[in-house]
Amino acid sequence: MITEKRVVYQFDRSQYYREKIKHFKRWGFLNRSFWLFLKLSIPFSMKRLFNIKIENKNKVPPEGQGVVVAANHTSHLDSILIGIGIAPRMSFFMASKKALEENRFFRLLKYAGAFPVDQRPGHGESALELARYIVSQGLAVTIFPQGKRVMNSRKYMRGKTGIARVALPTNVPILPAYISGAREAMPPRALIPKFGRKIVIRFGDLIYPENYYHYHDFYKAARAMTDDVMSSIYELMQDVESERLISIEKNKQKYEYFWDI
**Domain at 34, CATH number:** 3.40.1130
More confident residue, 195 or 17: 195
Buried b (16+ CB within 10 A) or exposed e, 50-67: bebebbeeeebbeeeebb
Angle formed by the axes of helices 125-136 and 162-170, to 10°? Answer: 40
In a domain, residue 1? The reply is: no
d(CA 48, CA 195): 9
Query: For the chain, how far is it from start to end, CA to CA, in angstroms?
Result: 69
Task: Count how many domains the chain has.
Answer: 1
Q: Is residue 3 included in any domain, yes or no?
A: no
Higher per-residue pLDDT: 21 or 132: 132
Q: Looking at the domain assignment, is residue 5 inside a domain?
A: no
Instruction: For residue 2, tell me if it sits in a domain.
Output: no
Cα 52 off chain centre by: 16
* Residues 6 or more apart in contact with residue 86 via CB below 8 angstroms: 57, 60, 69, 140
Asked whether residue 7 is domain-assigned, the answer is no
> In this model, does residue 201 exceed pLDDT 60?
yes
pTM as predicted = 0.79
Domain containing 188 equals 15-260
Can you give the pLDDT at residue 3? Answer: 47
- Do the domain assignments include residue 138? yes
| Interval 25-80: pLDDT, tens | 555 566 666 666 766 676 667 777 888 999 999 999 998 899 999 999 888 888 88
Residue 132 — very low, low, confident or very high, per pLDDT cuts 50/70/90? very high
Q: Of residues 149 and 199, which shows the higher confidence score? A: 199
Gap between the Cα atoms of 122 and 160, Å rounded: 12
6 found inside a domain: no
Range from 32-41, 115-124, 138-147 carrying the lowest mean pLDDT: 32-41
- Cβ atoms of 173 and 69 within 8 Å: the answer is no
pLDDT at residue 109 in the model: 72
Residue 9 resides in a domain: no
